[in-house]
Structure formats: C-alpha cells, structure tokens
Chain A
Amino acid sequence: MPRGARSTFVLALGLGLGACASDDGSGVRATPVVDLRADSNRDGEVRFDESDANKTEWNATVGAVFLANIDDDAQRCPRTFDDAKIALCNDAADDVVNGPDDALDLARLRTRPWPEAPPGTVGRVRVAPAAAKRLVRLFKRTGPGPTDFEAIDEESMFSAREIAAGIELAIEAKDIVRDRDAWDGYVDVTFSVTTRAKTHAEDTVRLRVAPVLTFHHLLPAEIVWMADNSAPSFQVTKEDIEASSIAAGVGPVRLLDVSDQWAQDYFEAAFMSMPAEGGRQHVIRVNYRSANMIGRTEEGVRLRPSGRVVFRMRGKDVAGVQEFDPDHGIAMDDLDSLGNFETVPPYEKDGVSFPFGRLLRGSTRAFYPDKRFMKMLDAQGLQPPIEIDTSWLFIGHVDETVSFVKAPTPRGWMLLVASPRLAEQMLEDAVRAGAGDTPMFVGKKWLDDATGHEVPAEATIAEVLADTQVMQASAEAAAEIDAQLEILKHELGLTEDEIIEVPFLHGIYRGMSIAYQPAMVNALYVSDTRLAAPDPHGPVIGGKDVFKAALEERLAAIGITVDWVEDWDAFHRFQGEVHCASNVTRRIPEARWWESGR
C-alpha cells in the first residue's frame, strides 16, 4: 500500500462463512475494490496510478486542494440585499451546479471502477472532521454534461452499478476558513463500500481548502481602481494617477461603482487558487470588504456602505467576503479601514520562508482592528500578521508611514519609511544655506473651496521650523516611526541599507499625528519602475523642489521613476494621499501556495 494511503478492508465479523454469506452464492466473499482519489499530486488531474496514491498526507509536496466556491459565476446574486444578506449569496449557497463555470470551481475526486461489484453492493461517502460537515458540499456526476452533478450527503447511497463504473465526485467549501479553532480547512473524505455479504471496505483522501491570500507590491498591477467621483479636485488627482497607470502599461484607471473617494480603505483585493490541468492554477479572486462601521441602529450594525462594492464586483471567478464583530468599538473603527492593511513582500529570515509575504496592520493592546476580521485573516495561515503601533496617528493606518518597492538587492525589495527627521534636517540645512525665506506650499490653500474663503497654506521654511505644533508632532512621529521600524527590522531582518527614508513633516490634530506636508510614502506602486506619489509642494531651491528631488534621487538609484500626482485639494487636506485614493488588483503569483509548507 502506498505511503499515506489509508484503505481499510473489514470482514463483517459475526457472520458465518457459509454460502449464504457470500455475494454470489459461491461461498466466496468478494473483496471490495475501494480506492478514492483526488488530485493529491497537484497536477490538475485525478489518476489511479502511483502519482495520486499518497492520499492522506498533506504537506509541501503532496495533498489535494479545493476551493471555497463563493464566487457568482452566472451573476445571479442580487445587489440590493442588506448587509447581513448580501454576503450570503454565492455559488455555494445552493446545492446545484450553476453552469459550466461553476463546475470548474469544484475539485474532483474519483473512485476506482470495480466492475466485479456484486449486486446489492452499496457505497457511501462521508466527511470528517465534524466541523467540516456543514462547510463542505459533495456532488456526484450524474451525466456527461458539464453541469450534470447532484449534491450528495452522508445518507446518499451509491448503487452497485455506479460502484462498478466508478464514480466522479466533486467538492466545494461553502465558505473560506474564518476561525481555525472551529475548522482548520482540512477535510478527510471517506468512500465506503459494503457488499450484501456485509464485507466492508473504505478509503480516505485528505484535502485542504485554499486560503485567501493578499497581493504584495512585487506582483505586477493589473487594474488600478479609483472611486467614481465627479468633484473637480478629485478629477485632478485621477488624471495624474491615470497618466502614471497608462505610462506603466497598466492602462486607464477603472472606476468603482461608488463615490467614496478613499478607494484604498473599503476593500482589499486577494485570491485563492487550486491546481488545474497543465500546471496551471484555477483561481477565484476575492475582495475583502472592510469591517468599517458607521453606526448602530436597532436593526443592527451599519457597515460602511461603500464596502458593498465587493459584492457588486462579485461575478465569474470573483468573490466578496465580509467579516466583522458587531461589538467592535466604533472608536477604533479607523483601524478597520484597509489602508491599515498592507502585505509585506516575500522574504526569508532565520531559515523561515514567507513566500507570499506577511500581513502588516496597525494594532496595539488597547487600540486594535476588528478582532473577528483579524481572526479570519490569521486563519488563512500563510501570511502571519505583523502588528505595529499606529495609535499615535490621527487616521491610524500603516500606509501613512511605510510602503514597499522592488529593488535590485538580494532581498529583492526595500522598505519606504516616512522620515520627519530627514525632512527637518533638509529644512534646517536650507536655512543654513540662506534659503529660510523660501516658501513651501505655493498656491495651495487650507480651506475647502466651498467656503469661498481663501486661506493660503504658503509658509516659508523658517516659518515652518518655527511652528510649535509641527515641530512637536514631527519629533513625536520620528520616535514613533523608529519604534515601528524596530519591529519591522526584528521581524523582517531588514538592514539600514534596505530602508529608504521619505522626508515629510507631521502636524497634530486632536492630540494625534497627521501628515503636514503631502506624505510621499503614501504612494501607488504602479509598476516595478514607477511610483505615483503626491506632489509635496516643497520649497524650490536652485530651481528644484528639494523634497521631490530627495525622493527622485533615492528611487532612481533602484531604477524607479516617480510620477508626481496633484492631490492637495482632494486628498491631502482630508488626511489622505495617493495610496488612499487608489486600489490595485495585481497578477496572481506564479508561486503555488500549496508548496509553501504552511
């Protein structure tokens, strides 16, 4: 018996061996052929040779995979349900195969034909552990058509004729893993056969539901998303981001079906995949809805309405997922925005590899994102989260202080990190060079155009350095960011020469920190060689904006061009920048998650 195989053959004890106990009256018991196979070797096919014979192990080299079939291939789901119902509609919500595309989302299993199965032989299938029973559905093929499947359960019985011909089964998960304490995503499917003579045998194959993985910055962008917002100031920013996207070869910006301009915050693109024929992957893209709440009513929680866009994006091979704790403190709601969710690119440290990177979120003991959402992320198992303190920030998002770009280094990428200290140094140097009267933020205003009251934002370098609030906040930010860096260095093994400082000063509001200058680190990494960053409107000395020059110079050294984006009016004044304004769907990685050993 091959390693890992777990077929059992049981003679029904207590029965005599006389002719009456045989299957054909010959007095000889038939030995059941019970061999259940899945795509354990992950080549996209189910075979009865040795290739798929190792059925019950699940590790980096062997083990079958199936998907949570939660997309909406035939686009049957209505878009107007309330928050509770809207997430429940998907292809796994019913027990029929909803078209040929839906059938492709099912992983296959087969039983080895047993042509000699005697009349009266019956078969059954069951799943374990118990927790998986309600989260997994099995089908059996009933005909040659692509959708000729019928849902089965543990009560369903296969006939001798079916057993003789061999049975094609299909499996789907009805949901992703959300809580590993409840179900870890593994399922053992057991096929059992019992002859009329009560000879019984069974065989088991282990499968694992695909985890949902998020995209890191080293994966090429395929779509740049922005909100559908007609405000003139928004359009200015959109034009610049679009120009960068087109220049990068990604193409025009795609508009979301919402006007909420903070496209980064209400959804996070992700995916799940299983092996397909020809070494390919079959993929369902997943968009997480943020757990943002805007309030509570007697009927329950009111989630951020724009997050519903993940269900409007739902369709063929695209799913939407929401998870939230209705009791999560609304005062911490900012942390639930998905600007407070980045994916560190792949790395290895101390012999431990993270081929799909790790999640990065702002979270502390007392100030943390929705715990149910976090538990769901953690349950995926492949991108263990790193937490840093963002509680000192007015908005509280990791994208306010860090980002990641590709680099020609052994690690393959570098960390961009906000540096108020460098900004302060640059301005002090300018004063020493006699440029203290040089203005910053020329032509920019603080107030919304709607007031009709123009308050210039312009300030000289000397005035900025004399601003108590700005200096206080910038020093605090320097210390806080340094503490974030300590965690990142420890977790990632980063060295100083793998960190690029991005200079800008901070201000303070409601006792917390906000970017005073446009936060250039809050940028859109649109391709390996292009970064769309907010125009800092810094002091122009010697004919160049010294803040632009600082970033351009640092990134040029690793082959990246900066595309400057005008975002002051629509975004900077409202605590966000280019990254907040956009979202990206990226290419599915070539690396196979099932080979990661996690």
Chain B
Amino acid sequence: MSETRTSKKRSKSMVACLLAFAAATAADAPVVPEAAAGVTVTPAPATPAAASVLTARGEPRAVPRLPATEAEALRRAIDEARALDPRPFLTTAKLVDDAPATHARSRGRRAPVGLFLSKLGRDAGLPILERLAFDPPRDETASVVRRDLVEAVGLLRDTRAVPVLAAILEDETEDAETTRTAAEALARIGTDEAAAHLLTALDDARGERERAIVAGIGECRHLRVTEELARRLRSTTDDDLARAAARSLGRAGNAWAWRTLADRQEESRIRTTAARALVEAYVHHDGDVRVAASNALMVVDAPETPALIEEARRRATPAQRDALDALAMRFARNPTRLR
C-alpha cells in the first residue's frame, strides 16, 4: 500500500516538473467561453455548425479546448504553411473528405485513413492539425474520421500536435476509443511533455477511461510511464484493465521496437520493469490476462526473465509452479526470437 502511495506521489511530482515549461500558459483562459458543451478555439468557425463534431452517440462535441496562446500560435503556423505551399492542404482535404468512402470500401468498414494521411509526410502535419483543431469533420462518420486525424499526427510524431492531443485526452467527455487513440498518439510523439500529459490524464482516470489511456500509453517508452503501468497492473482487480496494462507493458518493452530506436538509454530498465510486473501478473491472474502477460513477456524478451520466473516459482503454489514451468518453457523457445 505504501509503495502505491509513494509511486503516485513520485508520478505527480514528475508531472509537475515536466509541465513546468507550460506554467506561463497555465492560466490562459480559453478564448471563447461556451456553455456546458465546452470551449471552442479561435478563430471562430465559419458557421455555428462548424463549432462542433458529433460524438459517437451523435451528440455535438466541441473542438479541442486549446489555450488561447496555443490556438493562436497554431493558427499562425497553419496560415504561414498554407501561404508557402497550399498543396498539402488540398491533398489532406481530399483524403479527409474521401475518408467516409474509404472506410466504406475497407474490410471491416474501417480503413487505415490515419496511416494513409501519415504517408503524406511531415508536410501534412499542419493541414491535419487544422482539420482537427479548427475544422473537424461533420458528417455521420465524423468521430471515426476525427480519430483518423488523431492517429495520423501521432504516426507523424509531430510535436506541434501535443497541445491539441492533450486537449482531446483531457476531455473526459470524449468516447473511450478517441481517448485511447489520443493517448497512443501522444505516446508515439514521446516527448517529456507528451509523457507528462499522459501521466496527468491517467492520474485521475477510472473505469473505461483508465482502460483507454492504459491501452494507448504503451508506446511511450519512458521509465516513469512504464513504472506507472506496472503499478496499475499490480494493483488492479479489473481483468480488462490488467489485460490492457499487460499489453502496454509488452509494447513499452518490445525488444524488436527498441532495436529501431536511437535513444536506448532506458531500454534495459524499462524491459526489466515490464518483465517483473508481467511475471507477477502471470502468477496472480489466469485466463486471458495470463495469456496477455505471457505474450508480452515474449515480446519484451528481457534477459532477466528466467530469473524472475524462478524467483516467482519459489513463492508459488503448486498450480502456479506448473504454470510458471510452462512459461519458462515457452520463454526458452521464445517465438519472437530469431533462430
């Protein structure tokens, strides 16, 4: 229990530290106060209808609640980019406008439109942000296409998107899938600022919102984030949350992914932290949580895993020992390891 408290305190203190840079804007009032639906950013949309998109339930939703200075800076950057080269804006617009048809054509009626958008490259970053922040899709597939936009800026790892994504993440009225997508986009951007926003949002999240953030956060390969995931995996009694946390720990410690990264300073500690929590989860859960923990341990492929299994085995019940033996055998022939 005390460990939990300590971890939470540490996490909050780190959040404060990481967000220090934003102190100047912390008191920024939203530009246009609105009613309960939230606050829109400036400039005002061309029509009142443009001020909102539809939620998954078909209800109006405000565009992201950006601080005024952030909104103005983003607008300026967009205007300058358009003046310099309007083509990425036109291409992006066409892709976004075509998105409902693209989805309709796709298997499962869900196309990777965000992936397509990201393939346009960094030049598409501001055009996508413009649609996301100021001119969101408005038809009946708006919530789906909006998630495509969120996904795209995450795939582009465009740091200019952080304020917009953070605003979406922090909006507790967003549906779970949008929250998860925003968390994942921030996780991919992966800056200290993005990590801070993720931890802040996770701090008070409960239920479906907590599961959504936990599910999206795995690609944020910061030790603090991994430790928070490990803490939640240890403490939760919610199987769905445990499964999401196990998967995200696998993602954080994913050995194949780490091989592609330039900055690998925290790799070893993250993979070890993930592996330790996953072995514990494997012991204390069964069913699909245990399977998720086992799969995550395979992708993390931490060298310490056999020792962690052996350590767990010493304290295990006979049934747990049998399960741990099976895990040890699986790890010995790890399906992710090249032969």
Contacts and interface: CB of A to CB of B under 8 A. Distances in A.
A476 B254 CA distance: 8
A476 B288 contact: no
B115 A475 contact: no
B250 A476 contact: yes
A448 B115 CA distance: 12
A476 B116 contact: no
29 contacts: A265-B107, A364-B288, A365-B287, A394-B112, A395-B107, A395-B110, A396-B108, A446-B115, A448-B98, A451-B91, A451-B95, A455-B120, A455-B121, A465-B260, A467-B260, A468-B257, A475-B254, A475-B257, A475-B298, A481-B335, A482-B295, A483-B294, A509-B151, A510-B177, A574-B102, A574-B105, A574-B107, A575-B107, A575-B111
Nearest to A337: B108
B165 to A, nearest CB: 15
A96 interface: no
Contact of B336 (A394, A450, A478, A571): A478
A333 B98 CA distance: 23
Interface string A545-571: 000000000000000000000000001
Given A366-B288, A482-B335, 5 more contacts: A395-B107, A421-B336, A451-B91, A507-B115, A510-B110
A469 interface: yes
Interface in A454-468: 455, 465-468
Interface in B233-278: 239-240, 243, 247, 250-251, 254-257, 259-261
Nearest to B98: A450
A468 B102 contact: no
Top 9 A-B residue pairs of the complex, sorted by shortest distance between their CB atoms: A482-B335, A472-B257, A475-B256, A576-B107, A471-B256, A479-B298, A479-B295, A574-B106, A455-B119
B108 A421 contact: no
A471 B257 contact: yes
Interface of B: 91, 94-95, 98, 102, 105-112, 114-116, 119-121, 147, 151, 155, 177, 180-181, 184, 215-216, 219, 239-240, 243, 247, 250-251, 254-257, 259-261, 287-288, 291, 294-296, 298-299, 330, 335-339
Contact of B335 (A447, A467, A478): A478
A203 interface: no
Contact of A294 (B109, B247, B295): B109
Contacts of B291: 389, 483
Nearest to B101: A450
A509 B117 CA distance: 12
Interface residues of A, number: 54
Nearest to B335: A482
A334 B339 contact: no
Interface in A419-456: 421, 424-425, 428, 446-448, 450-453, 455
A479 B91 contact: no
A68 interface: no
A430 to B, nearest CB: 13
Nearest to B90: A453
Nearest to A455: B119
A580 interface: yes
A451 B94 contact: yes
A188 interface: no
A459 to B, nearest CB: 11
Contacts of A469: 155
Contacts of B108: 333-334, 337, 394-396, 575
Contact of A365 (B95, B259, B288): B288
A53 B282 CA distance: 59
A406 B220 CA distance: 45
B168 to A, nearest CB: 15
Contacts of A474: 256
B98 A451 contact: yes
Contacts of A480: 295
Nearest to B259: A471
B288 A389 contact: yes
A262 interface: yes
A543 interface: no
A379 interface: no
Contacts of B260: 465-468, 471
Nearest to B301: A475
Contact of B112 (A333, A365, A424, A509): A509
Given A448-B98, A476-B251, A509-B115, A424 B109 contact: no
A362 to B, nearest CB: 12
A514 B250 contact: no
A531 to B, nearest CB: 20
Contact of B338 (A395, A428, A576): A428
Contacts of B296: 479
A343 interface: no
A472 B119 contact: no
A333 B94 CA distance: 28
A475 B119 contact: no
A534 to B, nearest CB: 13
B112 A514 contact: yes
A364 to B, nearest CB: 6
Contacts of B116: 446-448, 455
Nearest to A420: B336
A351 interface: no
B113 to A, nearest CB: 10
A339 B94 CA distance: 31
Which of B151, B336, B337 has its CB near the most chain A CB atoms (within 10 A)?
B336
Interface in A241-277: 261-262, 265
A2 interface: no
B114 A262 contact: no
Given A469-B155, A472-B257, A574-B111, A261 B295 contact: no
Contacts of B255: 475
A495 to B, nearest CB: 15
B338 A453 contact: no
Nearest to B105: A574
A476 B299 contact: yes
A337 to B, nearest CB: 7
A511 interface: yes
Nearest to B114: A509
Nearest to A474: B256
B281 to A, nearest CB: 15
Nearest to B215: A511
Nearest to A335: B108
Contacts of A365: 287-288
A171 to B, nearest CB: 42
B212 to A, nearest CB: 10
Contacts of A471: 254, 256-257, 259-260
Contact of A575 (B106, B243, B288, B339): B106
Contacts of B254: 471-472, 475-476
B330 to A, nearest CB: 8
